[in-house]
């Protein structure tokens, strides 16, 4: 077999292959997904696929592919290789037989053919056979820039952490295909989305629709594609033969692969090697699957001898933004209480409030002293708040990145700003949900209308504007650049850009430099510098900060325990009626996001299975779910009641995000005693 011109086995002049790789499929065989999991952590192979172990990554594959554009990218890639035969809908055994049959042809194109060698099994996205040459294309819903040099190169002449999993994915497939078909020449490519390409036609995006059946399978319905639609390739093949050869020859690849395959086939656990990577382990039990075993727990019991009392304490994995976890664990410093100043490399950044390391130390000190009270820098917080101008505006954006642009001239994976919510707090303390925008009409590029609506919401006064994270500023910078680079900019483009500059600051690398007179105030930065609640366990996400704030603030508890939100004479809301946000569950105040209504509460439970997400999730309660919901509205064939339910859920979720910011402000206001009388 040849890979990148290197003979790895077999002799081309002696090819006598007849497709005899349909073997016994009754055992456990290592797939590329299992292989990549083992590359993250070999011990995970033992836990993977077992019902008794919790697996946080077992999300709905349909929704995952929908969110990142995987369905559309895969279908578009096949359009660039017409006339192929699909094996993807076949079971493994049948797919192997069909692959063998079609490969008897001199020339053929196959979609998702199957290959088996010993206990290794691989599906190839696209395979092109031309005589004795096999071209393997692994399609990824990931963008790249052809102008970028050394795309895959990382530190110390290795692969970059970003691209390494993709390259090992291809290497696994090349290995299996080569072993299954000795004597053939194999050329390998990553098929990537070219972010420098411009969409050649309007409406191409909507020619890839998705239909999902009640058994949760999905198919892509491709509309009538024209020559213009395919005249510019949005996906391009990137040759990776050299990278595959490096993996084969310099990393003990085959021995590692053999070990993984044998251990998986025998269901034998590879001894764990704990480290900072354990913080992201998916094999942890949660409330949703609390009756299942925790692989993470078993590893730490086995290696460190931990018992129940140890797991009840915060570990080094819980320390916010800590970059020395591997070092600490290797030194036996497993718990937060084991760390001190010397482990942090203390730095004072010269700014008000806590620096990164000072905040880490605060988290450690709270644990060591068993102090569960929040830290509040009232002096600096009060100084900041005294500078704010009423009315106060709280905004939150929801965005997506689509691989196939909506209109001609746009680039793949440009940010699409499809939604915002806006709350206002007046000087007298009154609160109202002032407005919102949701631009989810299929195939419509919403960004310019998004800014028009935002301008109408915020452009009538000089009140301070608040965001939670830098992301809203980044999105506005992106839209500013989109207007500037548009070959046919909107008639009000200059006004839109002027408005953007008035409420934001330029990002690094921007062609222009600015900081608006109403530059948005980042509440997340204020949390990091002036506020820490041990109940958040180091997290600064609004999803963790809000429940902690509610559990502390008597003011918020008193105010929102009444059904005043969306009530006549109460707080105006666009999407809720008579809502009570303070509820007690098991003696604790419930997370408000858990109180968001289900999307399909009125649908017969027997008919709702194909409508909901991971583990029966039937609500939008975090940003990833919102992005997926938008993708559903764009691409999926939906009945009217489904579209209405998803739209309503999106509006309610985004409204709660800005209400959460208001609640945080109200709690802080009471803490620093600004003497504002509130209803």
Nearest to 665 by CA among 518, 460, 522: 522
Rounded to an integer, what is the distance from CA 580 to the centroid of its chain?
31
Helices 523-530 and 356-368 meet at what angle, rounded to 10?
50
Read off the pLDDT band of 617 (50, 70, 90): low
Q: Which residues contact 334 (CB under 8 A, 6 or more apart)?
A: 304, 306, 310, 315, 316, 328
Mean pLDDT of all residues in 149-161: 84
Tell me how far apart the alpha carbons of residues 78 and 574 are, in angstroms, rounded to a whole number: 44
Q: Are residues 587 and 639 in the same domain?
A: yes
47 within some domain: no
Of 336, 371, 406, which residue sits at a domain end? Answer: 371
Res. 129: pLDDT tops 80: yes
- Examine the domain organization and report whether 321 and 178 are in the same domain: no
Return the pLDDT at 214: 62
Give Cβ neighbours of residue 646 (< 8 Å, ≥ 6 apart): 599, 629, 632, 633, 638
Could you tell me if 74 and 220 are in contact, meaning their C-beta atoms sit under 8 angstroms apart?
A: yes
pLDDT for residue 15 is more than 60: no
* Cα dist from 610 to 209, 371, 604, 613, whole Å: 17, 46, 12, 8
Distances (CA, A) of 601 to 24, 614, 646: 46, 16, 12
* Long-range own/partner contacts, residues 373-379 (CB < 8 A, 24 or more apart): 373/534, 374/531, 374/532, 374/533, 374/534, 374/535, 374/548, 374/552, 375/531, 375/532, 375/533, 376/530, 376/531, 376/668, 376/671, 377/352, 377/353, 377/529, 377/530, 377/531, 378/671, 378/672
Given 371, 399, 416, the domain boundary residue is 371
- Tell me the helix, strand and coil percentages in the chain, rounded to 5: 40, 20, 40
The sheet carrying 521-522 orders its strands as 431-438, 414-425, 392-402, 465-467, 521-522
Residue 219: count other Cβ atoms within 10 Å of its Cβ.
14
Look at residue 633 in the predicted model and tell me its pLDDT: 92
406 within domain boundaries: yes
Domain ranges, residue 613: 375-679
Judged by average pLDDT, the poorest of 212-216, 380-384, 529-533, 587-591 is 212-216
Question: What residues have CB less than 8 Å from 473, skipping those under 6 apart?
Answer: 467, 504, 505, 507, 520, 522
Rounded to whole angstroms, the Cα distance separating 596 from 590 reads 11
| C-alpha–C-alpha distance, residues 162 and 152, integer Å | 8
pLDDT at 155: 76
Q: Does the pLDDT value for residue 614 go beyond 70?
A: no
The whole-number pLDDT of residue 465 equals 98
Q: Is residue 460 part of a domain?
A: yes
Supply the DSSP string of 85-139, one letter for each residue: EE-TTS-HHHHHHHHHHHTTSSEEEEES-EEEETTEEEE-SEEEEETTEEEEEEE
Same domain (yes/no): 401, 361: no
Task: Count how many domains the chain has.
Answer: 3
What was the pLDDT predicted at 645?
A: 92
What mean pLDDT is predicted for residues 60-85?
A: 84
Q: Are residues 650 and 679 in the same domain?
A: yes
The mean pLDDT of the chain is 90
203 within a domain of the structure (yes/no): no
Mark whether 322 and 391 lie in a shared domain: no
Model confidence pTM above 0.75:
yes
**398 and 346 together in one domain:** no
Q: Map 345-378 to HEC letters.
A: CCCCCCCCCCCHHHHHHHHHHHHHCCCCCCEECH
Q: Under a CB-based contact definition with an 8 Å cutoff, are residues 121 and 176 in contact?
A: yes
Long-range contacts of 47-51 (CB under 8 A, 24+ apart): 47/283, 47/295, 51/292
Q: Worst-scoring range by mean pLDDT, 116-125, 235-244, 278-287?
A: 278-287
Q: How confident is the model at residue 25 (pLDDT cuts 50, 70, 90)?
A: low
**Residues 533, 667 within the same domain:** yes
Cα 188 from chain centre: 27
Same domain, 536 and 638: yes
Q: What are phi and psi of 392, to 5 degrees?
A: -90, 135
Same domain, 389 and 296: no
| Assigned domain for 678 exists | yes
Angle, helices 253-265 vs 164-180, to 10°: value is 80
Same domain for 136 and 252, yes or no, is yes
Alpha helices (H) along 459-541: 471-485, 493-503, 523-530
Give the residue-averaged pLDDT of 147-171. 89
- Determine contact, residues 454/398, Cβ cutoff 8 Å: no
The H or E element spanning position 67 is: helix 61-68
Whether the CB-CB separation of 403 and 413 falls below 8 Å is answered with yes
User: Where among 353, 371, 389 does a domain terminate?
Assistant: 371
Return the closest-CA partner of residue 105 out of 82, 79, 84, 126. 84
Q: How far apart are CA 129 and CA 211, in angstroms?
A: 30
**How far, in Å, are 16, 192, 194, 226, 401 from residue 230 at the CA level?**
38, 16, 14, 7, 21
pLDDT of residue 306: 97
Q: Which long-range contacts (CB under 8 A, 24 or more apart) does 453-457 make?
A: 453/420, 454/395, 454/420, 454/422, 454/499, 455/495, 455/496, 455/499, 457/393, 457/395, 457/422
For residue 302, give every residue at least 6 positions away whose Cβ sits within 8 Å of its Cβ, in sequence order, or none: 271, 272
- The helix (H) or strand (E) run that includes residue 175 is helix 164-180
Helix (H, G, I), strand (E, B) or coil at 230: coil
pLDDT range class, residue 69, cuts 50, 70, 90? confident
Instruction: Name the pLDDT band for 12 (thresholds 50, 70, 90).
Output: very low
Given the structure tokens 């509309």, which residue do they identify?
223
| pLDDT at residue 613 is higher than 70 | no
pLDDT class for 612, splitting at 50, 70, 90? very low
The span from the CA of 261 to the CA of 534, in Å, is 43
Query: Looking at the predicted structure, is the pLDDT value of residue 178 above 90?
Result: yes
In sequence order, the 6+-apart residues with CB closer than 8 A to the CB of 291 are 285
Is 492 within 8 Å of 455 (Cβ atoms)? no
pLDDT beyond 80 at 287: no
* 3 state SS of 47: helix
Residue 415 inside a domain? The answer is yes
**What is residue 637's predicted lDDT score, i.e. its pLDDT?**
87
In a domain, 31, yes or no: yes
For residue 97, whether the previous peptide bond is cis, meaning omega lies within 30 degrees of 0, is no
Q: State the Cα–Cα distance between residues 666 and 546, nearest whole angstrom.
A: 12
**Nearest-CA neighbor of 655 among 498, 424, 470, 490?**
424
387 and 340 housed in the same domain: no
**Whole-angstrom Cα distance, residue 469 to residue 461?**
23
Q: Are 316 and 306 in contact (CB under 8 A)?
A: no
| Residue 214 forms part of a structural domain | no
Q: What are the b/e assignments for 155-193, b being 16+ CB within 10 Å?
A: eeeebeeebbebbbbbbbbbbbbbbbbbbbbbbbbbbbb
Residues 110 and 250 occupy one common structural domain: yes
């Amino acid at each position: 077999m040849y890979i990148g011109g290197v003979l790895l086995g077999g002799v081309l002049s002696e090819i006598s292959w007849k497709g005899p790789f349909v073997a016994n499929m009754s055992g456990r065989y290592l797939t590329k997904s299992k292989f990549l999991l083992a590359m993250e952590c070999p011990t995970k192979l033992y836990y993977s696929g077992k019902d008794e172990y919790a697996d946080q990554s077992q999300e709905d594959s349909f929704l995952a592919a929908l969110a990142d554009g995987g369905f559309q990218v895969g279908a578009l890639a096949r359009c660039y290789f017409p006339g192929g035969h699909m094996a993807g809908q076949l079971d493994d055994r049948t797919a192997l037989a069909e692959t063998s049959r079609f490969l008897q042809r001199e020339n053929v194109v196959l979609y998702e053919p199957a290959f088996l060698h010993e206990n290794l099994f691989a599906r190839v996205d696209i395979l092109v056979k031309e005589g004795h040459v096999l071209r393997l294309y692994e399609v990824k819903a990931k963008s790249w820039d052809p102008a970028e040099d050394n795309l895959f190169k990382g530190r110390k002449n290795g692969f970059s952490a970003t691209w390494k999993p993709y390259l090992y994915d291809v290497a696994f497939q090349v290995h299996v295909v080569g072993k299954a078909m000795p004597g053939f020449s194999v050329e390998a490519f990553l098929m990537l989305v070219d972010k420098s390409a411009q969409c050649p036609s309007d409406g191409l995006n909507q020619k890839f629709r998705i239909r999902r059946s009640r058994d949760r399978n999905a198919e892509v319905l491709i509309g009538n594609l024209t020559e213009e639609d395919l005249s510019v390739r949005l996906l391009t093949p990137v040759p990776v033969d050299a990278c595959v050869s490096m993996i084969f020859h310099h990393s003990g690849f085959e021995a590692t692969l053999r070990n993984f395959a044998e251990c998986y086939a025998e269901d034998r656990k590879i001894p764990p090697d704990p480290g900072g990577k354990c913080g992201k382990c998916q094999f942890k039990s949660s409330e949703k699957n609390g009756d299942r075993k925790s692989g993470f727990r078993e590893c730490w019991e086995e290696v460190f001898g931990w018992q129940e009392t140890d797991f009840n304490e915060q570990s080094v994995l819980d320390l916010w933004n800590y970059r020395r976890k591997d070092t600490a664990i290797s030194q036996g410093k497993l718990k937060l209480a084991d760390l001190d100043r010397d482990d942090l490399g203390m730095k004072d950044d010269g700014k008000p409030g806590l620096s990164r390391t000072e905040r880490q130390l605060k988290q450690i000190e709270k644990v060591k002293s068993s102090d569960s009270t929040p830290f509040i820098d009232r002096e600096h917080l009060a100084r900041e708040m005294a500078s704010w101008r009423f009315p106060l505006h709280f905004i939150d954006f929801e965005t997506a990145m689509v691989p196939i642009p909506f209109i001609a001239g746009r680039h793949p994976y440009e940010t699409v700003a499809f939604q915002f919510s806006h709350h206002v707090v007046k000087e007298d303390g009154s609160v109202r949900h002032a407005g919102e925008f949701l631009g989810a009409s299929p195939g419509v590029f919403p960004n310019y209308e998004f800014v028009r609506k935002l301008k109408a919401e915020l452009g009538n006064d000089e009140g301070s504007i608040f965001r939670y994270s830098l992301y809203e500023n980044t999105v506005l910078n992106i839209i500013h650049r989109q207007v500037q680079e548009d070959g046919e900019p909107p008639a009000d483009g200059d006004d839109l850009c002027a408005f953007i500059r008035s409420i934001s600051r330029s990002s690094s690398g921007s062609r222009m430099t600015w900081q608006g007179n109403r530059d948005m105030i980042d509440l997340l930065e204020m949390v990091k510098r002036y506020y820490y609640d041990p109940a958040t366990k180091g997290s600064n996400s609004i999803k963790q900060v809000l429940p902690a704030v509610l559990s502390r603030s008597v003011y918020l508890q008193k105010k929102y325990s009444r059904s005043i939100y969306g009530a006549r004479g109460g707080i105006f809301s666009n999407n809720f009626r008579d809502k009570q946000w303070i509820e007690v569950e098991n003696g604790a105040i419930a997370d408000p996001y858990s109180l968001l209504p289900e999307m399909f509460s009125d649908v017969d439970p027997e008919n709702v299975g194909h409508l909901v997400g991971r583990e029966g999730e039937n609500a939008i309660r975090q940003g990833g779910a919102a992005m997926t919901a938008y993708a559903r509205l764009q691409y999926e064939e939906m009945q009217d009641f489904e579209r209405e339910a998803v739209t309503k859920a999106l509006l309610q979720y985004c409204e709660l995000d800005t209400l959460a910011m208001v609640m945080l402000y109200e709690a802080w206001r009471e803490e620093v005693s600004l003497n504002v009388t509130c209803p």
